[in-house]
């Protein structure tokens, strides 16, 4: 019977190539199913064989590249395309997968991961990376200066603190030494080919363990084997306009990728108002530009050198965000405009990276050198710790050796980084502080049996500011069948203190509040946060057109960093008067960060993708339950991100327990359409009740080179208002009762017409 099946069905062909399109000769392609067979790709990267019908797991392995796997139900002749990433690919975590259809690929890593491709972002006509990240249910945004398009937006995974999430560009760390995170609000889609989000802690980290919530890695636009050129121009409501240009290709041994982007927006607020008795212009305008260049010179299939440059600059009028209407009935200014007056910010982010790899012995040697410069300038009144004029610089170098076998993969490496922070303190001085960081790691994976893969990693870190740290992680992936994979991992991680948190200011440079407490002092005795995380997940391919993934996690956080405030002393009047005026200062009247208590992050996530081929539909649905609360805290600490009081056992402020998203794509022919909805439960970042924001896009491919698309964001106006309402938000339950919050506006309905040319 087997011979009859082989004669009738099926011819399986495959093409193995690098992400750039270059064919990979000598790669091993292994079929596991009704037929067990190992093939070797020819000089053009091609393999072919006859196989009986059935369910298969097909793996591809090439020296110097991350192994990949795909689940296939073979019912007739099949053609597979394997795009392999180098082991040194620009990601924070090496996770191999076949992206024949990335949205249907079952998860093969030990921790949840989401790859948001350029095509995914283009379906809804998104122009900013933040719009795509909003769909992930484990992602929450901190908006310290208020809502709206011009506001600062920082991303946190699984918890309340953005400084516990790494943000990188091609693996190059960008987190700021002043706030511990990065403002991602103006990062343009045009500069990137993908955004990789990996959640929690896992043994596949390629460097360091200074993370708790997870990592967001921006993958820059990369060279392609064939030449491509794309240009887009768009215009829309509130004076929104954008022009971007992408060009990629290869000439001989040199690959190139360039991206230019130019965005402008007047915004929905552009008027003169009486703020605290003074005529004040309130605006929400934005102007941002970016440039990316990526060059790669290939000496051979396993040896190349690349250089990448990225710069982003923006200027924003944030006056409409920090000023607003007083909604507190008990205040003297109830119903009138109050605030610090005019405010504007200007930011520049520069990131340079040089990367090379070459064979060494039976493995591969990888070296990188990088530098980044994040500068922030403020004009006008400061509102939060984010409103500090500063410049954060970081210079890094790393070296690693990696080797891949048919059944295993190993890597060892080291990294050295120097970070400095210059900022303008309250008295106008410009202190310069810094630290050196050394990191070492060894990680590997082993295919113990046909069904079981084991993974592990050890990570050492040394900071000149506070000392050393050692973390370890293990994980396992068990393939119950070619369609179903069960995963488990446990590991430890940490969050290092920020440079600004340990800096001790002269008392004369600190600001006193109404109770006489000196605010913003540093704590040189502050240590790192430590976390242990447990992860369990199941990924299943449903028939050949659907994928279901379920994750459960729990993170135990020890010694979290919170802000101490001498509440009882201050309310007793001890800190007011001449007994607490320099040089006679009461040492008890200071607020500063401390390590105290514990916190728990736990929850579940469900991701489902379904292709309805005959209807030309593709559906993706995500749901997340995110529970995050502190334990063993006193009444004199507050969260450093939101500034809110903390209640033992109660959800952190601005972290909705329930989040979800749904997207439906329709591509019958030249027409295409997408609808996406994002749900945020109560306790959300806008301090509003539960709300759903709906985006949509419909377009027509006029000819192979021109596409015309109409897009709309938040088309039903959920949570929209023009200004912040001071004291008008949903109250947060504090230690002594309900704490008022400010109601923040969501972005208004915005419509854009996009014209995209490609050749």
Domain residue limits, the chain:
2-84, 113-496+528-560+596-758, 497-527+561-595
Spatial separation of the C-alpha atoms in residues 645 and 564, rounded to whole Å = 10
Find out whether 499 and 178 touch, Cβ atoms under 8 Å. Answer: yes
With a cut of 90, say whether residue 237 has pLDDT above it.
yes
| Alpha-carbon span 3 to 5, nearest angstrom | 5
Q: What is the pLDDT of residues 636-646, one digit of tens each?
A: 777 665 556 67
What class has domain 2-84?
mainly beta
How far is the C-alpha of 469 from the C-alpha of 482, rounded, in Å? 39
- Cα first-last separation, the chain: 50
Q: What is the mean pLDDT of the chain?
A: 87
Give the architecture-level CATH label for domain 113-496+528-560+596-758. Answer: Beta Barrel (2.40)
CA 349-351-355 angle, 5° bins: 170
Report whether 686 contacts 743 (CB < 8 A).
yes
Closest listed residue to residue 204, CA positions, set 455, 414, 6? 455
> Per 3-state DSSP, what percentage of the chain is helix, strand, and coil (rounded to 5)?
5, 55, 35
State how far the Cα of 117 lies from the Cα of 617, in Å rounded to an integer: 18
d(CA 547, CA 240): 37
* Burial degree of 206 (CB within 10 A; 0-12, 13-18, 19+): buried
> How long, in residues, is the chain?
759
Strands (DSSP E) contained in 170-239 are 172-173, 192-199, 214-220, 228-236
**What confidence score (pLDDT) does residue 64 get?**
64
What does the pLDDT look like over 159-216, one tens digit per residue? 888 999 999 999 899 998 888 889 999 999 999 988 989 898 877 776 567 789 999 9
Q: Quick count: other Cβ atoms within 10 Å of Cβ 702?
A: 11
pLDDT, tens digit (0-9, with 9 covering 90-100), for 166-175: 999 998 999 9
Section 396-414 average pLDDT: 88
Is residue 224 scored above 50 in pLDDT? yes
Q: 252-275, pLDDT tens digit by residue?
A: 999 999 999 999 999 999 999 999
Q: What is the rounded distance in angstroms from the CA atom of residue 224 to the CA atom of residue 257? A: 8
β-strand 724-726 against 324-326: which pairing, if any? parallel
Helix H or strand E segment including 122: helix 118-123
Tens digit of each residue's pLDDT (9 = 90 or more) over 600-627: 999 999 999 998 877 788 999 999 999 9
Q: Is 209 left (phi over 0), alpha (psi -120 to 50) or beta?
A: alpha
The C-alpha atoms of residue 50 and residue 12 are separated, in whole angstroms, by 6
The DSSP element (H or E) to which 366 belongs, if any, is strand 363-380
Mean pLDDT for the stretch of residues 280-305:
92
What is the distance between the alpha carbons of residues 520 and 385, in angstroms, rounded to a whole number? Answer: 9
Cβ–Cβ under 8 Å, residues 703 and 657 = no
The torsion region of residue 536 among left (phi > 0), alpha (psi -120 to 50) and beta comes to beta
CA atoms within 13 A on the CB side of 88: 27
Residue 576 to residue 566: CA distance in whole angstroms = 13
Per-residue confidence (pLDDT) for residue 145, from 0 to 100: 83
Q: Which two tokens mark 214?
A: 């997870």
Closest CA to 492 of 533, 444, 457, 528: 533
In this predicted structure, what is the pLDDT of residue 207?
A: 59
- Asked if 296 and 255 touch (Cβ cutoff 8 Å), the reply is yes
Rounded to 5 degrees, φ, ψ at 32 are: -125, 120
- Give the tens place of pLDDT for each residue, 449-500: 988 999 999 999 999 999 999 999 999 999 888 788 999 999 999 999 999 8
537 - beta bridge partners? 487, 551
Share of the chain above pLDDT 70, in %: 91
Check residue 622 and give its pLDDT: 95
Q: What's the pLDDT tens digit per position in 557-575?
A: 999 998 888 888 888 888 9
Closest CA to 493 of 759, 176, 166: 166
SS3 103: helix
Instruction: Give the CA angle between residues 133, 742, 732 to the nearest 5°.
Output: 85
Q: For residue 706, count other CB atoms closer than 10 A to its CB.
A: 12
3 pLDDT higher than 70: no
Q: 335: left (phi > 0), else alpha (psi -120 to 50), else beta?
A: left
CA dihedral for 376, 379, 385, 389, sign (positive or negative): positive
Could you tell me the pTM of the whole model? Answer: 0.88
Q: Where are the beta strands (DSSP E) in 405-451?
A: 408-423, 432-447
Sign, CA torsion 276/280/286/289: negative
CB 685 within 8 A of CB 741: no
SS3 label, residue 164 = helix
**What are the pLDDT digits (tens) for 39-78?**
888 877 888 888 888 878 788 877 667 667 776 778 777 7
Residue 111 CA: distances (Å) to CA of 69, 287, 442, 599: 16, 38, 18, 21
Task: Give the CA distances from residue 566 to residues 282, 515, 569, 593, in Å, rounded to whole numbers and listed in that order.
Answer: 36, 10, 5, 12
Distance of CA 647 to the CA centre of its chain: 28
The DSSP letter of residue 104 is G
pLDDT tens column, 701-716: 999 899 999 999 999 9
pLDDT in tens, 522-546: 999 999 999 999 999 999 888 767 8
> Percentage of the chain surpassing pLDDT 90?
52
State the Cα–Cα distance between residues 366 and 65, nearest whole angstrom.
Answer: 12
Q: What is the DSSP string of 666-701?
A: E-SSSEEEEEEEEEE-SS-TTS-SSEEEEEEEEEEE
């Amino acid at each position: 019977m087997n011979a009859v099946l082989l004669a009738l069905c099926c011819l399986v062909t495959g093409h193995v190539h690098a992400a750039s399109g270059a064919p990979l000769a000598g790669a091993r392609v292994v079929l596991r199913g009704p037929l067990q067979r190992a093939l070797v790709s020819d000089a053009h990267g091609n393999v072919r064989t006859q196989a009986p019908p059935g369910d298969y797991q097909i793996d591809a392995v090439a020296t110097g590249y991350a192994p990949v796997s795909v689940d296939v139900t073979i019912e007739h002749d099949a053609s597979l395309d394997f795009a392999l990433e180098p082991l040194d690919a620009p990601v924070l975590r090496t996770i191999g997968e076949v992206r024949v259809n990335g949205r249907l690929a079952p998860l093969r890593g030990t921790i949840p991961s989401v790859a948001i491709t350029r095509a995914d972002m283009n379906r809804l006509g998104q122009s900013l990376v933040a719009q795509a990240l909003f769909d992930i249910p484990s992602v929450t945004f901190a908006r310290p200066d208020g809502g709206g398009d011009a506001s600062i937006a920082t991303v946190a995974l699984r918890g309340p603190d953005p400084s516990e999430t790494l943000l990188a560009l091609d693996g190059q760390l960008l987190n700021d030494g002043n706030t511990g995170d990065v403002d991602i609000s103006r990062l343009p889609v045009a500069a990137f080919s993908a955004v990789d989000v990996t959640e929690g802690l896992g043994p596949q980290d390629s460097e360091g363990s200074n993370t708790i919530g997870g990592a967001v890695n921006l993958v820059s636009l990369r060279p392609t084997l064939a030449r491509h050129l794309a240009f887009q121009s768009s215009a829309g409501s509130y004076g929104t306009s954008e022009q971007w240009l992408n060009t990629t290709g290869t000439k001989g041994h040199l690959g190139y990728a360039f991206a230019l982007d130019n965005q402008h927006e007047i915004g929905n607020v552009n008027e003169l108002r009486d703020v605290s008795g003074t005529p004040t212009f309130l605006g929400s305008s934005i102007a941002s530009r970016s440039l990316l260049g990526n060059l790669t010179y290939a000496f051979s299939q396993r040896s190349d050198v690349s250089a990448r440059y990225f710069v982003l600059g923006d200027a924003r009028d944030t006056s409409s965000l920090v000023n607003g209407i007083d909604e507190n009935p008990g205040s003297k200014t109830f119903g009138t405009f109050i605030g610090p007056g005019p405010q504007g910010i200007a930011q520049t982010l520069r990131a340079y990276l040089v990367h090379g790899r070459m064979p060494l012995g039976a493995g591969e040697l990888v070296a990188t050198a990088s530098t980044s410069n994040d500068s922030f300038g403020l004009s006008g009144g400061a509102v939060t710790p984010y409103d500090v004029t500063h410049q954060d610089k970081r210079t890094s170098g790393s070296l690693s050796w990696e080797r891949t076998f048919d059944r295993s993969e190993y890597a060892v490496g080291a990294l050295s980084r120097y970070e400095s922070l210059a900022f303008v303190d309250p008295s106008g001085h410009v202190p310069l502080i810094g630290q050196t960081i050394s990191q070492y790691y060894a990680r590997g994976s082993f295919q113990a049996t046909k069904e079981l893969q084991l993974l592990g990693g050890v990570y050492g870190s040394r900071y000149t500011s506070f000392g050393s740290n050692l973390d370890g992680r293990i994980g396992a992936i068990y393939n119950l069948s070619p369609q179903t994979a069960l995963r488990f991992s446990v590991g430890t991680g940490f969050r290092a203190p920020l440079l600004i948190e340990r800096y001790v200011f002269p008392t004369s440079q600190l600001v006193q509040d109404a109770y006489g407490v000196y605010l913003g002092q540093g704590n040189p005795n502050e240590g790192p946060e430590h976390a242990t995380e447990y992860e369990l997940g199941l990924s299943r391919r449903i028939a050949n057109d659907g994928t279901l993934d379920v994750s459960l996690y729990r993170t135990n956080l020890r010694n979290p960093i919170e802000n101490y405030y001498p509440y009882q002393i201050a309310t007793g009047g001890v800190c007011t008067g001449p007994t607490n005026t320099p040089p006679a200062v009461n040492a008890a009247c200071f607020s500063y960060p401390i390590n105290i208590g514990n916190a728990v992050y736990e929850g579940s996530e469900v991701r489902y993708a379904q292709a309805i081929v005959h209807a030309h539909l593709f559906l993706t649905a995500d749901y997340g339950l995110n529970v995050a609360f502190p334990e063993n805290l006193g009444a004199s600490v507050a969260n450093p991100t939101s500034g809110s009081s903390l209640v033992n056992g109660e959800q952190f402020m601005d972290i909705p327990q329930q989040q979800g998203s749904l997207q439906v794509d329709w591509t019958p022919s030249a027409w295409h359409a997408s609808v996406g909805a994002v749900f945020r439960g109560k306790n959300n970042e806008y301090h509003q009740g539960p709300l759903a924001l709906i985006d949509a896009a419909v377009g027509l491919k006029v000819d192979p080179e021109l596409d015309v698309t109409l897009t709309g964001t938040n088309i039903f106006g959920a949570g929209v208002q023009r200004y912040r309402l001071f004291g008008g938000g949903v109250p947060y339950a504090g230690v002594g009762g309900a704490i008022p919050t400010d109601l923040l506006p969501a972005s208004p309905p915005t419509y854009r017409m996009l014209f995209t040319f490609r050749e």
